[in-house]
Amino acid sequence: MTQKQLKSIRRVTGFALLTAMVLMVLLSVYPALETSNNRGDLTRTEYIAGIDTPVKKWLNGYLGVFFRFEGFGNINWLVLPLLAWFFIAYPQRDRKQSALVLVWFLTTLLMVFKGYDNARYQLTLFPMTVAAVLYLLWLFLENKTKIPRVLCLSFVALLCVYNIYHHWEKYTNQWHMRVTAEKPRFPHKLVDYINNAGDIDQKNRVFTINTPLFYYHTDKPGLDYMHPDGAQAWGKMWYVLGNRQKLFRNLTRRRRVRYILVKSMHLRFYRGSILQEFLHCETRPVMEDNGWSLFKLREQPLKQHLRRPEYRRLWTWKPIKGDTAAVSPSLVRFHRRGIYSFEVKPFTGGKKKGQNKYIPFIEIRNTRVKPRYANERRINFGYELGKKGLQEKIPAGKYAHFIVRILISPRLLNNQNAIYVLDYDGKKWEQSKQTFFSNRWRTYVVSKKIRPGAKRVRFMIRFSPVD
Amino acid sequence: MIEFIVKFFFTGILFSLATGSFLVSRDKGRTCSPGELYLYSLGLGPVLTVLLLYYMLMLIGGGPVWFYVSLVTITFGLLLFAGRSALPLTIGAAKSFAGHTRDRFRQISGPARVERVLYWTLVFALLAAFLVIFTANTLQLPIDGHDVLVYGNTGKIYYHEKTVAYRDDLLDRDNGFYFAGSPKPSFSLLYTWELMLNDLFRPGPDPKKSSPAPGVENRDIFFRAISAYYGLLIICLTFFWLYRKNRYLALLGILVLLSGMQFFRVLFHLHLDSYRIYFLLLSWIFLAYALSKPGSTHTPPTPGAPVEKEAKKGIFLRRLPSFFQCLPQRLVPGLTAEEYFAFFLLGAFSGLTAFTHIVGIAVAGFNALAFLLFQEKNLKQRIINTLWLLFLILAFGGSHYLLDALIGARFGFTTYFAS
């Protein structure tokens, strides 16, 4: 074999090995970045920054400058082996080259420690890293002939095109949002409504929760949740459980608030607060527009509201010691797949100091799984008018409200677990449904207008456990 | 659209070219070619405007809008006047570049010529396509990003109060907007500037702040364009530097940048990332220039270009003591006249990087450290030069952090590094 042939074989082998190395890295990183953690208690940072698994915390987080493929392409990591080659091949370096490497390295360290949870901070290094990769690659290929250079650069171009293809849906999403406006994000209708609302003024302000949009695009007065004046109300939502009435008075009388504006997506990150319960029970939704929601506070708190003569209250709970039949004698099990236990226990959390009143709650557990129903375990239970002592009729056209306080596991915050009001007109059941929004003790309300000719009315809880 | 073109031309182009002329006229050692300096200066109009506004609102707050707009305009007018000697040089260099390009084009033929034509057609077609798509669509959409809205609201406060005051928190007493953090004024002041221009050039009361339906509400149209403008400048910078190695490498650089969704978003979303990263890149370019051996970056004159004639000095300037003319260089005696230019711009761009974002203050510090370590001077000279560099960083915007730490927000910037 001639020298020329040997050289060619070495070149081809070298190129093949390098290509294989690159492909191996990509084939291991891409799947790792596709995993996700759907646990209900994800923090907002984990959700937005894409660091919801330990592997992603490293790839998208600490080493995000190199391996956050979605944000920064799939070739940035090449700067590491190329820099290593550069230091070996060029031991006598220019001062300016050493200075640039130093500042780049220090900035990378800064991103690793302080910017790992923010892709925007990691973006700082992106243009410089791209330029460094391409410059070093060119330096590496400078003494090579035209064909290897063309092949290498074409390979890099192909990798970039692949990354765009891999995330094509995200690119098209951005296009539809920001160019064609087919998926608009701006709440035009909501902003128009606020600007034209005659009842928003200095005495009836909007309580804004992380919504600077209100102050930029409207000329109405608001109270920010971080303002010292608003922060007290916001603090009550977090630290004073079950005190909706006090919060209501605090907002309306002391803070002159009549509306609440919040970004719907953020509500899942406030599961620890009573915000959603408050919105759910003490306000009426006015408008939801492209992810922003405006709520108007009732004229009076729900508890007071329900004492009005037009309401008829049915108590299904007795604060006494005993079993389920004693505490809630009207409770009915409608339908089940699996075996469930109902056990009365004393409520000990969230009591006011010095309160000794006995408050029982019923704990429902799935105690046995029937093999044929392993994947569709559920139990529907609740109350039905006309059964077990609930002798009441609701005239057609009137509203039935079901108010219940529930604690549920974060894994069960899904569409399969909910409370219902249903009516049956002889042909079919019609329902109103309210899913759960918190893994803490919260009050839920669901309402339904009873249809003419409704023969049966149920107030139901569906519990669908998972492992 | 006309309103946008006027605002953008005024601040983005005219002020930038004035700055570019000044820089070209001061680059005696030809550290960079005129074209390169004008490219860098395209991003300087807006940021120097807000730097001037920052100092004016801090030191002479509460004045009428026409006062601030006039002072800023006069400052850039003075820069243009001081840089007038660069204009014939620039025009000459542009003419000779055009001639040189034409001659080279005529020398090649066949496939090579076709390839060149196709190459530049592609580059300009991509640019034109983006500009059309952006101005017709994206620019018409209202701002909805959380962070930009906070910056915009802060800019409104500066506009209403006509001051940049350091205090525990920021509160708009009219509408209740509240910010408890440590606002970086640079980006917000871009909106303040635009509101001032609106004030001057829109007769009558402020337009009702109704929902900005596409094309109707243009009170913040210049503010909305900043992200894409600086994103394009970053692409131009990358293209420029990679083109020096190979023109296809330059095209590949654009592809690599756009293959990152985060950078793609910069062109279509409104944020300050491209604005702050642009000055960071410039600071690193001039770090390299400042550490280069004197003369090694000297750009030879373009063949056939006119030799720069010394501008005729008027009576005032002839009598101006030569000491003051050389003052900047005398303050940093360890640097030659050729080194001083790159040094000055290193300090300026590091300061502007810090001015735009908190990450920038750390990067400015890293630049100063690298400058200290890698200068080819004795230790004493290096320390003196670095201290002057830090002074420049403070003067060009780093002072914001000093003031913020001493008398600023309750959650000042130092808490960021402590958390």
**A403 within 8 A of A457, measured Cβ to Cβ:** no
Question: By CA distance, what is A149's nearest residue in B?
Answer: B249
The pTM assigned to this predicted structure is 0.85
Which two tokens mark A195? Answer: 């600007």
pLDDT tens-digit series, residues B385-400: 999 999 999 999 999 9
Q: For residue B284, what are the contacts with CB-CB under 8 A and spacing of at least 6?
A: A100, A103, A104, A128, B367
The winner for highest mean pLDDT among A52-61, A181-190, B266-275 is B266-275
pLDDT tens-digit series, residues A139-156: 998 888 888 889 899 999
Give the residue ranges of DSSP H helices in A197-261: 213-217, 228-239, 244-249
Which two tokens mark B170? Answer: 């920021």
Cβ–Cβ below 8 Å for B262 and A181:
no
Which two tokens mark B381? Answer: 């000279």
Q: For the stretch A154-175, what's the b/e string if a residue is b when 16 or more beta carbons lie within 10 angstroms of its beta carbon? A: ebbbebbebbbebbeeebeebb
Cβ–Cβ below 8 Å for A102 and B137:
no
More confident residue, A45 or A343: A343
Task: Work out the minimum CA distance from A425 to partner chain B, whole angstroms.
Answer: 46
Q: For residue A202, list its beta bridge partners.
A: none
**B259 within 8 A of A69, measured Cβ to Cβ:** no
Interface-testing mutation among B211, B218, B243, with chain A (most A C-beta atoms within 10 A) = B211
**B21 within 8 A of B84, measured Cβ to Cβ:** yes
Q: Is the pLDDT of residue A94 over 90?
A: no
Region of A50 (left: φ > 0; alpha: ψ -120 to 50; beta: rest) is left
Residue (of A33, A34, A26) closest to A78 by Cα position: A26
**B395 within 8 A of B388, measured Cβ to Cβ:** no
Task: Give residue B83's pLDDT.
Answer: 87
**A205 within 8 A of A259, measured Cβ to Cβ:** yes
Q: Is the pLDDT of residue B22 over 50?
A: yes
| Chain A residues touching residue B266 (CB < 8 angstroms) | 123
Torsion of CA A161, A166, A168, A174, to 10 degrees: -100
pLDDT tens-digit series, residues B233-258: 999 999 999 999 999 999 999 999 99
Task: Give residue B321's pLDDT.
Answer: 42
Q: What is the enclosing helix (H) or strand (E) of A297?
A: strand A292-297
Task: Give residue A238's pLDDT.
Answer: 76
Q: Is A264 on the interface with B (CB under 8 A)?
A: no
Q: Is the pLDDT of residue B2 over 50?
A: yes
| Region A191-203 average pLDDT | 92
Task: Give residue A240's pLDDT.
Answer: 62
Q: For residue B393, what are the contacts with CB-CB under 8 A and spacing of at least 6?
A: B347, B350, B351, B354, B364, B368
More confident residue, A351 or B162: B162
Q: Report how far residue A236's alpha carbon sits from residue A273's, in angstroms, rounded to the nearest whole number.
A: 9
Helix/strand/coil for A337: strand
Between CA A192 and CA A204, with CA A198 as vertex, the angle to 5 degrees is 105
Q: Report how far residue B220's alpha carbon sits from residue B200's, in angstroms, rounded to the nearest whole number.
A: 14
Residue (of B140, B143, B179, B133) closest to B158 by Cα position: B179
Closest by Cβ to B234, choosing from A127, A157, A227: A127
Q: Is the pLDDT of residue B304 over 80?
A: no
Which two tokens mark A255? Answer: 């803070």
User: Running DSSP on this structure, what letter comes out for residue A210?
Assistant: S
Task: Give residue B328's pLDDT.
Answer: 56
Residue count of chain A: 467
Q: Report how far residue A432's alpha carbon sits from residue A57's, in angstroms, rounded to the nearest whole number.
A: 41
Residue (of B41, B104, B109, B51) closest to B75 by Cα position: B51
At A433, give phi and psi (nearest 5°).
Answer: -130, 145
Cβ–Cβ below 8 Å for A212 and B376:
no
Residue (of A408, A406, A381) closest to A466 by Cα position: A408
Q: Is A216 on the interface with B (CB under 8 A)?
A: yes
Give the residue ranges of DSSP H helices in A240-350: 244-249, 275-282, 302-305, 324-327
Task: Work out the minimum CA distance from B163 to partner chain A, whole angstroms.
Answer: 19
Mean per-residue pLDDT over chain A, rounded: 88
Task: Work out the minimum CA distance from B20 to partner chain A, whole angstroms.
Answer: 23
- Residue at B80: amino acid letter: L
Cβ–Cβ below 8 Å for A73 and B234:
no
Q: Is A156 on the interface with B (CB under 8 A)?
A: yes
Task: Work out the minimum CA distance from B395 to partner chain A, whole angstroms.
Answer: 22
- What is the separation of C-alpha B148 from the centre of its chain, rounded to a whole number of angstroms? 19
Helix/strand/coil for A432: strand
| Chain B residues touching residue A171 (CB < 8 angstroms) | 261, 264
- What is the separation of C-alpha B122 from the centre of its chain, rounded to a whole number of angstroms? 27
Closest by Cβ to A213, choosing from B149, B234, B374: B149
Instruction: List all residues of chain A from 101 to 130 with a beta carbon under 8 Å from chain B.
Output: 102-104, 106-107, 110, 114-115, 119-124, 126-128, 130
Q: Report how far residue A213's alpha carbon sits from residue B149's, in angstroms, rounded to the nearest whole number.
A: 6
**A108 within 8 A of A125, measured Cβ to Cβ:** yes
Cβ–Cβ below 8 Å for A75 and B245:
no
User: Running DSSP on this structure, what letter comes out for residue B42?
Assistant: T
Region of B30 (left: φ > 0; alpha: ψ -120 to 50; beta: rest) is left
At A345, give phi and psi (nearest 5°).
Answer: -135, 155
More confident residue, A458 or B84: A458
Q: Is the pLDDT of residue B184 over 60?
A: yes
Task: Give residue B315's pLDDT.
Answer: 45
**B195 within 8 A of B159, measured Cβ to Cβ:** yes
Cβ–Cβ below 8 Å for A96 and B249:
no
Q: Report how far residue B380's alpha carbon sits from residue B385's, in angstroms, rounded to the nearest whole number.
A: 9
